[in-house]
Amino acid sequence: MVLETEKLDKFFKLGGREVRALSDVNLQVKRGEFVSIMGPSGSGKTTLLNMLGCLDKPTHGKVILDGEDVTKVPEKKLYEIRRHKIGFIFQSFNLLPYLSAIENVELPMEGTKKSKDERRKRANELLKMVGLSERGEHRPHRLSAGEQQRVAIARALANNPAIVLADEPTGNLDKKTGYEIVRLLGRLTVDQGATVMMVTHDSQMASETERMLFLSDGKLLAKEKEGILVEKKTKCPYCGRKLAEDSEYCPRCGKKL
């Protein structure tokens, strides 16, 4: 498991009132999965993603990321976890307007061990992967909405995170571009072994993923649905070897799945 939550609660105090944004959420996500979390507005989707991304602490319960209970990690160290283990993608792209596309992708690598040349090389590879090799020098306002989101995806992957968290990534895109973005995210889980969690209130986008979960009033419903990407479960996320249903270890590279 790359990500688990145990009995996660999040309450907010609002005026004198307590808002229960999340209640007893138990979640398990395997490496290389493409999971969508569906739910109406106000059901707790963003709150859950913020907990998973260590942007906020739960009121009770655990968030276990790559084997580590991050609710026990002091704030100072959380910054490093966010930077190295998590990639974020937002509805509004959140690119820095005064930097070029390639500089936006390089940004999360600043202050890491990579040299300037290595950072540029990695950023170029990532832009190529999202189909924007030719657009690296453009500032965000010169790019279409779909292109900006692809830059944001490249940026999210810069430090090779264990998990990519996307909050309504297609919310500001037209339907066709939205599908392209979701399929690109799906391809990352197949080709790069990335784990992607996508929050959306759009059931058509959700059905493009592998596994659909449902939040309602802060509770994760017991029902789950399979999306169209489900067949890809038959590939090892590390080496791409075809797998039998429910294999625990990859027969080629030996890694635990």
Q: Kindly tell me which residue out of 5, 23, 36, 43 binds ligand ADP, with binding defined by CB under 6 A.
A: 43
**Residue 245 carries which side chain, given as an amino acid letter?**
E
**Number of residues written out for the chain:** 257
Per-residue DSSP letters for 39-69? --TTSSHHHHHHHHTTSS--SEEEEEETTEE
Q: Kindly tell me which residue out of 36, 47, 100, 148 binds ligand ADP, with binding defined by CB under 6 A.
A: 47
Partner that binds at residue 108, options ligand ADP, Mg ion, none, CB closer than 5 to 8 Å by kind: none
Q: Kindly tell me which residue out of 5, 36, 46, 104 binds ligand ADP, with binding defined by CB under 6 A.
A: 46
Per-residue DSSP letter, 121: H
Contact 16, 25 (CB under 8 A): no
Shortest distance in whole angstroms from residue 45 CB to ligand ADP: 3
Shortest distance in whole angstroms from residue 39 CB to ligand ADP: 5
Shortest distance in whole angstroms from residue 169 CB to Mg ion: 12
Shortest distance in whole angstroms from residue 8 CB to ligand ADP: 12
Of residues 43-72, which lie at the interface with Mg ion (CB under 5 A)?
Answer: 45-46
Q: Kindly tell me which residue out of 41, 75, 117, 245 binds ligand ADP, with binding defined by CB under 6 A.
A: 41
254: left (phi over 0), alpha (psi -120 to 50) or beta: left
Q: Kindly tell me which residue out of 19, 64, 73, 145 binds ligand ADP, with binding defined by CB under 6 A.
A: 19
Contact 125, 119 (CB under 8 A): no
Quote the crossing angle between the two packed helices 145-156 and 175-191, to the nearest 10°.
20
Contact 202, 174 (CB under 8 A): no
Which residues lie near ligand ADP (CB under 6 A)? 12, 14, 19, 21, 39, 41-47
Which residues lie near Mg ion (CB under 5 A)? 45-46
